[in-house]
Amino acid sequence: MTSSVTASPAAAIRRIRIQVNGQEHECEVRPNRLLVDFLRYDLGLTGTKEGCGVGVCGLCTVLLDGQMVASCLTLAVFADGGEVTTIEGLAVGAELHPVQDCFIEYGGFQCGICTPGQIMAAKALLDDNPTPTEEEIKEWMMGNLCRCTGYYKIVESVQRAAGRLRGAGAGDGATARQGPAGARAGRLAAR
Amino acid sequence: MHAFEYREPRSLEEAYAALAAYGEDARPVAGGTALVLLMRLGLARPGCLVSLRRIAGLGAISAADGVIRLGALVTHRRAERDPLVGTRLPLLTEAYRHVATVRIRNAATVGGGLAHGDPAQDPPAALLALDARVRLSSAAGSRTIPLHDFYRDYYETVLQPGELLTELEVPMPPAGARWGFIKFLPRTADDYGTVTVAVALTLDGTGAHCREARIGLTCVGPTPIRARRAEAVLRGARLTPELLRAAAEEVRNEVQPTSDLRGSAEYKRDMAVLFTRRALEQALAQPAGNPPQDRR
């Protein structure tokens, strides 16, 4: 396909306003800048990773206006006027978000490469549904691949985080809504 | 990714003008999950993207005169969770729920999904079974056509340059309507189907005879299809297990699958027959107007 109108590089640059982790940015970007690259290379927020680059693996998951999206398939210009939350935006000072804490405490990550995407997906889930069943967690998280095969621990970490977010002392996530595998994971963790 | 111009019209009129300025070198974009992917892979190289994201009035879901209308910019996720769709078109809820992952469904739009013309998506199977129509609009005016006339070939639709798919119209099924939906996924849960089939049946008062039958299939040829010969076997007939089997068998010669990672053409033909029968059985096993499972 040939271009009938010559793309002028100067004309192509767009000015966008975007709030990332609560901080306002006004930037010039080319339309072909992907959100993942904008975050990593223009803003230096390298917590968001790119894996497959085709929207399948979940590494690049960020929240755009509260909804999780694949930043590898999102143009930065799509986020103009919007709010983006990345893994760097979850902790408050030195205090980690409960989802982050639970991934650490319950072994939700091994090598760590999928972890920022897993945690952002888990946060989006718990924002949407504070009391997910094990089945709902699996269905929601199925687009986040872990090649260390740490899925049991990931599911458990999300269950624990759900419990912690519902309020301290709620059995740390070991609730009646847990399925058999969750209960098994709970027993393993108790050892 | 190659360099391109980007336009962000605020109205359909502005969008038509932007599309006209770039001719066939312009591509409309909404969620981007299909087009940006093709561009990243170098399979599409439009000189200009005309974003529809800021156009007001294309994101509504409404019901009137026995028809549910979904604006082209409604996301898959919103369609999946909409209570009106869930109550009146549970088959559609079920189909949208099975597309890729939540992350993709949050971005992908119902209009973009159809205009993409991918023959392996799930929603067209359900929309064909529901006898949906699409509204196509351009500077010259609008036309509404049945979805079964929309697809021409592999990734090819009847959309003309400068024309946009702006709305889906889905007739509400009559009382007593039943449906079945199966996305056969032998690999991973977020994959494209090997065969996706949706059926919509209307029975007579006794529930023994079939008044109307529509069957939509995807992943089994260059476009989504209606299995019209199978439908003809069902229409007006007494619904026995043998009849369902005979109807499903017709599908064997209505599909044109190709061999790929998800199975050989022969296998897909077998699976199209098998899962059509099972979807019909699923429909008959339901109480009338059966709602979808309450799942997020």
pLDDT score, position A158: 98
Residues 253-292 of B with CB under 8 A from A: none
pLDDT beyond 80 at B8: yes
Q: Which residues from chain B sit within 8 angstroms of residue A65, using beta carbons?
A: none
CA distance B134 to B169: 6
Closest by Cβ to B103, choosing from A58, A129, A135: A58
**What sections of B193-254 are H helices per DSSP?**
228-234, 241-250
- The answer to whether B47 contacts A11, with C-beta atoms less than 8 Å apart, is no
**Distance between CA atoms of residues B73 and B198, nearest Å:** 23
Contact: A5, B4; criterion CB under 8 Å: no
The DSSP line for A173-191 is: G--TT--HHHHHHHHHHH-
Question: What sign does the dihedral B224-B230-B232-B237 (CA atoms) show?
Answer: negative
Q: Would you tell me which CATH number, out of the four given (3.40.50.720, 3.30.43.10, 3.40.1440.10, 3.65.10.10), belongs to the domain B5-50?
A: 3.30.43.10
When pLDDT is averaged across residues B222-235 and rounded to a whole number, the result is 98
Q: Nearest-5° angle of CA B246, CA B252, CA B255?
A: 135
Would you place residue B279 in the very low, low, confident or very high pLDDT band (cuts 50, 70, 90)? very high
- Alpha carbon of A89: minimum distance to chain B alpha carbons (Å): 19
Distance in angstroms (rounded) separating the CA atoms of residues A183 and A91 = 29
Residue A168: per-residue pLDDT = 54
The DSSP annotation for A133-162 comes to -HHHHHHHHTTS--TT--HHHHHHHHHHHH
Report helix, strand or coil for B236.
coil
What is the token pair recorded at A31? 């339309």
pLDDT at B2 over 60: yes
Q: Does B187 touch chain A (CB under 8 A)?
A: no
Out of A99-103, B5-9, B283-287, least confident range = B283-287
Fold assignment, B61-171? 3.30.465
Task: Closest CB to A5: pick one of B22, B49, B106.
Answer: B22
- If phi over 0 gives left and psi between -120 and 50 gives alpha, with beta otherwise, what is residue A65? left
For residue A181, what pLDDT is reported? 42
* Residue range B88-108: mean pLDDT, rounded: 97
**Integer Cα distance of A141 and A119 in angstroms:** 10
Q: How many CB atoms lie within 10 A of CB B262?
A: 21
- DSSP letter (8 states) at residue A2: -
Q: Which percentage of chain B shows pLDDT scores above 70?
A: 97
Helices (H) and strands (E) in chain A — how many of each?
7, 5
Cβ atoms within 10 Å of B25's Cβ, excluding its own: 20
Running along chain A, 191 residues long, what does each successive block of 10 average in pLDDT?
A: 48 91 97 98 98 96 98 98 98 96 94 96 98 96 90 96 80 42 38 32
CA distance A183 to B247: 46
Nearest residue, CB atoms, B37 vs list A4, A55, A58: A55
What residue type is assigned to position A11 of the chain?
A
Q: Is B75 exposed, middle or buried (0-12, 13-18, 19+ CB in 10 A)?
A: buried
B294 vs B184, more confident: B184
Strand ordering across the sheet containing B26-29: B5-7, B48-51, B26-29
- The torsion angles phi and psi of B262, rounded to 5 degrees, stand at -90, 5
**Rounded to two decimals, what is the model's pTM?**
0.91
**Considering chain B, what percentage of its residues have pLDDT values greater than 90?**
91
First to last CA, chain B: 35
- Beta bridge pairs of residue B71: B167
Q: Which of A27, A35, A155, A141 is nearest to A86 (CA)?
A: A35
CA Rg, chain A, in Å? 19
The label of the residue with tokens 């909404």 reads B30
Residue B27 tokens, joined? 């591509």
- What pLDDT score was predicted for residue B189? 83
Work out whether the CA dihedral B271, B277, B279, B282 comes out positive or negative: negative
- Whole-angstrom distance, CA of residue B185 vs CA of residue B192: 7
Nearest to B5 among A1, A7, A121 (CB): A7
CATH dotted code for B179-285: 3.30.390.50
Arithmetic mean of pLDDT over chain B: 95
Query: Residue B92 is inside which H or E element, if any?
Result: helix B90-97
Selection from B266, B31, B248 nearest residue A67 by Cα: B31
Non-local CB neighbours of A183 within 8 Å, separated by 6+ positions: A174
Chain B contact for A179 (CB, 8 A cutoff): no
Domains of chain A are 9-89 (3.10.20.30), 98-190 (1.10.150.120)
Look up residue A9 and give its DSSP letter: H
Alpha helix ranges (H) inside B116-250: 123-129, 228-234, 241-250
Per domain, the residue ranges of chain B are 5-50, 61-171, 179-285
pLDDT of B274 above 70 = yes
Q: Across the interface, which of B4, B33, B53 has its CB nearest the CB of A32?
A: B4
φ/ψ of residue B156, rounded to 5: -130, 130
Torsion sign, CA atoms B57, B63, B66, B68? positive
Look at residue B215 in the predicted model and tell me its pLDDT: 98
Q: Which two tokens stand for residue B2?
A: 């190659």
Strand residues in chain A grouped as ranges (E): 14-20, 23-29, 61-64, 67-70, 83-85
Give the mean model confidence (pLDDT) for residues B216-223. Answer: 97
pLDDT value at B83 more than 90: yes
* Mutation target vs A (from B24, B101, B185, B187; most A CBs, 10 A cutoff): B101
Kindly list the residues from chain A whose CB atom is less than 8 angstroms away from the CB atom of residue B49.
31, 75
Least Cα separation, residue B99 to chain A (angstroms): 11
The whole-number pLDDT of residue A185 equals 40
Whether residue B24 contacts residue B161, with contact meaning beta carbons closer than 8 Å, is answered with yes
Interface test with A, best of B1, B2, B6 (most A CBs within 10 A): B6
Q: Which residues contact A56 (CB under 8 A, 6 or more apart)?
A: A143, A145, B190
